[in-house]
Each structure stands twice: as C-alpha cells, then as structure tokens.
C-alpha cells in the first residue's frame, strides 16, 4: 500500500456537516463576486453598471425561488436538514443577514460610485431638488400626458381592501389627510405605477446642460401625487415593491396535458406568496408596519432602499447612450474554415469533427447547419431539444422552414424552463402549426440535454450528423455565455444521440451507449467510477489529476468521492462558477482540492470533466454536478477523443486554473478571495486573443 493511500481513514464519516457549505449561502457568495465587478475600475463604466444590475436581478430570482422554497418548507413543517446540517430556520436567518448586507452594498455602490462617475461622463439622474423651472414644466406636462391617464389610485377602506399587487411591480403607499368627494376620511391609498412606462425618462436636449439627463418615474409620481388626490393633503408618498414566490407548482402526474396545465399556472406566478418587501428608506415605520401586516411578512423580510426599488430596470441605459468607450470593446467571433455560410457544412463534417468555444468562436455554424438542413432536399429528418431559445431566433425559423418543407421535424421542448415557460409554450404552438412533432420530454425529468440530429440521404443510404453542446440554443446567450459546441458525423456518436431521442419521444428500456454518458442513468455512476480510478492511480504512485469546470457542485456523493480522491493524493482543481458545497482545505480530507470561480466579461457556462489517468479522458456536458442535474434531468456528457482537441480543452482549463486577474479562490471558511490580483493574465482575455483574434486589450492588468 502506498504512503498516500495509507493516509485515507476508512472510518471517516463523510456525512459530518462540517464538510459541507450551505448551498444557499454559497449562492449568495457568488452574487457578492458579481457585485464586486461593479467597483472594479478595470471594467468600463457602463459594464460596471450592468454588473450592479445583474446582481440585483440575481437577488430577485434568489428570493422568488430559493427563499420562497425555504419559507414554504417552514410553512409545511418540513425542517429537513441538508448535508451542511443547518435547519431551514437557521438558513433563512443567515440569508436575511447576508442579503441585507448585500443590498446595502448595492445601493452604496449605486449612489456613491456609479452615479457620480456617470455624471463625470455627462450622464445625470436628476433629483427633484435639482430640477430647473423649465424642467419642472416639461415634467409636469409629461405627467399630465403620459402618466395620469394610466394610473388608478386605490383608497383603502372597507370597500377597497389592500389590493393584490403584481410580483415585483412598482407601487406607492400614500399618506393622506382630509376627506374625499364622498366624505370619506381614508388616510391611506395605494398607487400602482403603470407597468407599461419606462422607469426612467430622458429630458429633451434643450433642457439639459449635460449630454444625457434622466428623471426616475418614481420622482415624477412623488412630485405630482397631490394631483391624483384633489382637495386632499398628501403627507407622504413612498415607493415599495413586493417580491413573491414565482416557482410554479405543477402536478405533472395528474396533468392530462402538461401544456394546458402549465399555461393555467403561469398567471398565478404573478400573485404568489410574498417573500420580500422593499420600501423607500424614508418611509415611516407606521406605514412599513401596515405593509408588512398586509402582505404577511416580518421585519426580517423588510429591505429599506436608498434609491429606486428595482435596479434591474436600469439594464436598458447602456443601449440608450451611444458611448462605446464606456463598454467592452467589440469583437468578431472567429469561424473555423469549412463552417462559414458559403461552405457546405455536411461536406465539412464528413471530413472531420469541430469543437467550437463560444463566444470566442462563432455560434453561427450551428445555425448554418440547421439552415442548410432545412433547405437541403436530401435531408429527411431533423430532431432537436430546445430549453431556452427565443421564438424569434434563427434556429426556430430554420426548424419552421424545414417542417413546412415536409421534412420530419421532431422537437423536444422543455416547457418547465424557469421564467421561459410562456415563451416555450408559444414556441411549441408555432412548431406544431408548421407541422413539426412536438413532445415535452419525460414526466418528472426535465430535458436539459442540448442535441441536434440530422438525417440525410447520401448515395442511397441514410447518414447522420449531430450537434452536442454545453449551452442553450440561444444566439444571444452565445455572445454572453462561454459554452462548447461539438459538430460531428461520427457514426457511433450519432447513434448514441439517436438513442437518447428515442428515449425522449418513445418508450422502452435504456439502451447501452457507446460514447455518451447520460443522466439520470449512467452519468453520475460513471463520473464516480472515474474519480475512484484516479484515486487508485494516485495510490499506485502515478500523477493523478482531476479538473472539473461547471456552474455548481452540490451533489453529496460526488463531493464525497472527491474527498476520498483527495485523501488518496489526487490533485483536484475545481472551477465552479456559482454554488459549491464542497469545503476545501480540511486537514486530511480536502488538502489537495482547490476551488476557483472566474467572474469576467462573459458568464462562465461550460461544463467539462477531465481525468488524467489511463488514457486521459475529457467530457463536455450539459449537466452541472448538482442533485437535480444528475438525478432528475435528462442530460448528456460527450467525450472529446481527438487528441489535439483534448489537449486544446485541457490548455483552456489550465488558463482558468492559473488566471491571475479574475480568479477567486474558495477558502475554508466559505468566503472567496481574489487569488493573485493584478498578476499574470485573465483567462477570458487570453481566449479572446487566441480564438477570436481580438487584440489583447480586454482586461490587461494596469
């Protein structure tokens, strides 16, 4: 027995809570890293504003889904502890502490950093105290023309109880004095802001001494609240917003038609149980107490904000302002030879397979593959999975064209793609109307795999072509997310893709795959086997190395296998963008594990699993290392067997491992630290330089 293997304690209790980080708190740490980009002066100013907005958007979804789920568990007395041993009530208390801290930091950055720097660039958000008489007159006219005809104030009395307010809508609570036309002494009113209006309005150039001057809709309503209540005195008008449970509770077992059932549930998402109340920080306590009571929340769920209650609505600002110097420099993704619009992609794939790394390399070859398939008279059938794509995408248009041309088009549409359900329902209808066969996957198992299979008649025989990816078929996301795409005509791989489609659209037992690992059947089991083999190699004195890159690592069995491998002496590098429940740096348990998170210009989305021993193995996958992905979803992991491709992906992984600019390292106490700030290179910048041809200017250290 080797010295390394002798260190492994067979009596180690890997169920000990001290070995695990709480997933919800880890999620919030990811958002903290996103927020940190908003104050990083190496990013252009408007990009820093975007990071701030993204952190606010992430927080919204965290409350709508994660906090809402925890509050439901408390309500239904489901105090089941996770691997970290924290009770639900403890987790909610810790979440409240951390989120209050993060929200305070968001508004500090907004008010003290972003707003002053925008002003230096000629972009101003005017407070009411800064309006000139001319601006006041224009605003008054705007309110009369655009706002007053749309608003419907609601006085609160026995005939008008507290209204059901839409999730995340902007509202005002108004403190009134006096009697109305009917002699009612109401005291309070609720004023919902029109959802159709922008949350900030640009003033005409002739009224400005800056390039761009904006006024928040909330400021306009505050300034003219008295016109909505003639003859009454407005003592105060305060903005607030209610965040609700937005997770859909669909009984898929009892649903005769999943699409109809899901469509019926979408409306309820807007009026779910309240989970958070945000109010203006100057709102009197007696009014916040009324709001809390009406929505059924406590002080722990109250967030006082020094600014607009929905920072997410600022995402549109960069597109209004034509200041390219305040944005990341543009780049053109490179298209490999043989895959351009003028090339016959089927001929190219007959000669070789292609591995594309988006957004550094173009997503357009995937679109071209479908476009050519739709027009090619020799193509007989197209099969594809769709999770998030957008109804107006070029991919959808190609599928519609193929179906209308009489080709056999089969599309597996995953309706339960969170917050895209309505769009996916519309997509399914469009495809069905065009003549495509649409199926919704398997009950209780989301279809998360990214696959295309094209069947083409060549020389009297049918030949298959496939695409497998780590990301969604959304061309917009392909410019913002890092993902791998694999285009191939390898017969055995295409046969595996065919078998997965057969499972999704038909019935029958699981068939053995030659190359693809797929959840919920073989993926987790084989990953655990590969980890164990790496541990055995380390025990034999070999240089053992595991690299995993994905968005989340929460699955207990995978974490425990990695702990055992670490004990055996395996070097383990984990590049986990978001949640990570594994705790590194535990003596005798995770000494050999390093966990990194890279936050940069692009959202890291690739899923890659590398094992050094035997013949080095590398898989790209649609799945993260989370319970839902490995146990309750249809996922695929495909091998990269070509040695030059494998070496290329390995080198790209090592760029992330050695990133000295944007790489955060997970510490033993569950916090993250920038590993080597301002030393070396940024992985994303290096990949832009290598793969897209962009000059090395994206994120060079100063």
Q: Return the active site residues.
A: 448
Answer for the pair 370, 407: CB distance below 8 angstroms, yes or no: no
Say what the alpha-carbon torsion angle 614, 554, 590, 661 is, to the nearest 10 degrees. 90
Q: β-strand 481-488 against 461-469: which pairing, if any?
A: antiparallel
Determine the Cα–Cα distance for residues 13 and 16; give it in Å rounded to an integer.
6
**Residue 433 CB-density burial (10 A; 0-12 exposed, 13-18 middle, 19+ buried):** exposed
Place of tokens 């476009």: 371
For residue 506, how many other CB atoms are within 10 A of its CB? 8
Q: 347-384 burial string, b = 16+ CB within 10 Å, else e? A: ebbeeebbbbbbbbbbbbbbbbbbbbbbebeebebbbb
Nearest CA to 128 out of 237, 229, 242 is that of: 237
Place of tokens 């907004």: 110
Residue 229 tokens read as: 């209540």
Q: Is 637 left (phi over 0), alpha (psi -120 to 50) or beta?
A: beta
Say what the alpha-carbon torsion angle 472, 473, 478, 480 is, to the nearest 10 degrees. -50
Side-chain-side CA neighbours of 53 within 13 Å: the count stands at: 14
Residue 473 tokens read as: 């078929």
SS3 content of the chain, % helix, strand, coil (to 5): 40, 20, 40
Nearest CA to 534 out of 3, 19, 4 is that of: 4
Determine the Cα–Cα distance for residues 393 and 367; give it in Å rounded to an integer.
9
Answer for the pair 456, 428: CB distance below 8 angstroms, yes or no: no
408: β partners: 381
Answer for the pair 387, 361: CB distance below 8 angstroms, yes or no: no
Q: Is the dihedral of CA 398, 403, 409, 413 positive or negative?
A: positive
∠ Cα 474 502 475 (to 5°): 5
Determine the Cα–Cα distance for residues 611 and 650; give it in Å rounded to an integer.
10
Backbone angles phi, psi at 192, to 5 degrees: -75, 130
Q: What is the CA radius of gyration of the chain?
A: 28
Length of the chain: 702
437: β partners: 410
Residue 133 tokens read as: 């008489």
For residue 613, how many other CB atoms are within 10 A of its CB? 20
- Give the single-character DSSP code of 513: P
What is the SS3 assignment for 467? strand
Query: Can you spell out the DSSP letters for 224-273?
Result: TGGGGSTTSEEEEEEEEEEEE-------STT-S-HHHHHHHHHHHHTT--
Determine the Cα–Cα distance for residues 358 and 335; give it in Å rounded to an integer.
10
Determine the Cα–Cα distance for residues 560 and 549; give it in Å rounded to an integer.
17
Determine the Cα–Cα distance for residues 282 and 285; give it in Å rounded to an integer.
9
């Amino acid at each position: 027995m080797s010295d390394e293997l002798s260190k492994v304690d067979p009596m180690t209790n890997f169920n000990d809570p001290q070995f695990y980080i709480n997933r919800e708190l880890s999620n919030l740490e990811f958002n903290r890293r996103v927020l940190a980009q908003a104050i990083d002066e190496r990013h252009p100013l408007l990009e820093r504003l975007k990071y701030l907005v993204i952190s606010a958007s992430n927080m919204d979804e965290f409350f709508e889904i994660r906090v809402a789920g925890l509050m439901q568990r408390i309500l239904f007395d489901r105090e089941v502890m996770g691997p970290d041993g924290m009770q639900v009530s403890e987790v909610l208390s810790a979440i409240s502490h951390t989120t209050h801290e993060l929200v305070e930091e968001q508004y500090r950055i907004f008010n003290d950093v972003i707003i002053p720097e925008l002003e230096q660039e000629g972009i101003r958000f005017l407070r009411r105290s800064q309006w000139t008489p001319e601006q006041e007159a224009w605003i008054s006219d705007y309110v009369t023309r655009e706002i007053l005809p749309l608003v419907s104030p609601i006085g609160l009395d026995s005939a008008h109880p507290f209204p059901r307010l839409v999730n995340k809508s902007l509202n005002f609570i108004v403190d009134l004095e006096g009697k109305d036309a009917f002699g009612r002494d109401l005291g309070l009113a609720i004023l919902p802001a029109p959802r159709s209006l922008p949350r900030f309005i640009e003033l005409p150039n002739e009224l400005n001494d800056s390039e761009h001057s904006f006024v928040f809709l909330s400021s306009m309503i505050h300034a003219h609240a008295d016109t909505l209540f003639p003859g009454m005195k407005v003592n105060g008008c305060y903005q607030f917003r209610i965040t609700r449970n937005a997770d859909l509770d669909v009984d898929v077992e009892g649903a005769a038609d999943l699409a109809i059932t899901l469509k019926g549930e979408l409306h309820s998402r807007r009026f779910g149980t309240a989970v958070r109340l945000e109010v203006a920080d100057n709102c009197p306590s007696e009014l916040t107490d009324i709001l809390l009571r009406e929505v059924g929340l406590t002080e722990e769920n109250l967030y006082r904000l020094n600014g607009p209650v929905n920072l997410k609505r600022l995402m549109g600002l960069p597109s209004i302002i034509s200041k390219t110097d305040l944005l990341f420099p543009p780049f053109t993704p490179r298209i490999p030879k043989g895959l351009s619009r003028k090339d016959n992609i089927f001929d190219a794939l007959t000669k070789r397979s292609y591995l594309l790394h988006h957004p550094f390399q173009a997503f357009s070859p995937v679109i071209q593959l479908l476009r050519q398939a739709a027009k090619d008279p020799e193509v007989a059938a197209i099969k594809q999975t769709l999770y998030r794509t957008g109804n107006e995408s070029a991919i959808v248009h190609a599928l519609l064209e193929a179906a209308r041309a009489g080709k056999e088009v089969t599309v597996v549409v995953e309706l339960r793609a969170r917050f895209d359900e309505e769009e996916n329902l519309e997509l399914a209808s469009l495809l069905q109307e065009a003549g495509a066969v649409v199926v919704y996957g398997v009950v209780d198992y989301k279809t998360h795999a990214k696959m295309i299979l094209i069947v083409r008649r060549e020389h009297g025989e049918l030949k298959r072509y496939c695409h497998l990816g780590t990301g969604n078929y959304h061309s917009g996301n392909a410019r913002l997310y890092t993902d791998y795409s694999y285009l191939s005509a390898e017969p055995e791989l295409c046969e595996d893709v065919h078998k997965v489609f057969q499972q999704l659209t038909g019935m029958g037992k699981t068939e053995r795959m030659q190359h693809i690992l797929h959840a919920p059947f073989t993926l987790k089991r084989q990953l655990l086997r590969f980890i164990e083999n790496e541990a055995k190699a380390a025990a034999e004195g070999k240089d053992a190395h595991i690299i995993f890159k994905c968005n989340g690592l929460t699955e207990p069995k995978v974490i425990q296998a990695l702990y055992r491998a670490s004990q055996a002496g395996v070097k383990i590098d984990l590049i986990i963008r978001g949640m990570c429940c594994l705790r590194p740096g535990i003596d005798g348990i995770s000494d050999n594990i390093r966990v990194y998170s890279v936050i940069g210009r692009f959202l890291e989305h690739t899923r890659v699993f590398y094992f050094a021993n035997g013949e080095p193995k590398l898989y790209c996958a649609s799945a993260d290392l989370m319970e839902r992905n490995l146990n309750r979803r249809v996922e695929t992991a495909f091998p990269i067997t070509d040695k030059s491709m494998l070496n290329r992906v390995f080198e790209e992984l090592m760029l992330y491992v050695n990133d000295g600019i944007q790489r955060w390292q997970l510490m033993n106490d569950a916090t993250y630290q920038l590993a080597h700030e301002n030393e070396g290179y940024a992985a994303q910048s290096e990949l832009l330089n290598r793969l897209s041809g962009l000059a090395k200017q994206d994120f060079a250290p100063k």
